[in-house]
Amino acid sequence: MDFLYDVQDEKRVFSALQYMPAAEQIEQLANFYKIMGDPSRLMLLMALEKGELCASDLANVAKMSRSAVSHQLKALKQAKLVKSRRQGKTIFYELDDEHIHSVLKVALEHIKEGADHHD
């Protein structure tokens, strides 16, 4: 295999190469974090951590207009971070699956631990 630079630790380099996802998966992962990188979207995702809510209730929790909430929910649904169900005239939203719960939980724990270490 050709490398750009001299390899210092061949075993670790090859291990890293084996672990490395395909370029398409890296792109998808970058898009995932891009979608989650918006504070408004994160607030909506965190609000859904405790269960499903309708757009009006999400707007109240996030202190956002219903129009802004709807716009963000559309992006979250397209990214498969949120799913919805209709009950009569009301649409309820919830996190798409357990992976989203896990990502949010681990990220928040990391932030809280970082804050504890810098006090």
Q: What is the pLDDT of residues 48-74, one digit of tens each?
A: 999 999 999 999 999 999 999 999 999
CATH topology for 10-117 is: Arc Repressor Mutant, subunit A (1.10.10)
pLDDT on residue 119: 55
pLDDT on residue 114: 82
Instruction: Return the number of other C-beta atoms located less than 10 Å from residue 55's C-beta.
Output: 20
Question: What is the residue extent of each domain of the chain?
Answer: 10-117
**pLDDT, block means (10 residues), the chain with 119 residues:** 88 93 95 94 96 98 97 96 98 96 94 77
Contacts 24+ apart (CB under 8 A), 45-50: 45/76, 45/81, 45/82, 45/95, 45/100, 45/104, 46/104, 48/82, 48/93, 48/94, 48/95, 49/95, 49/101, 49/104
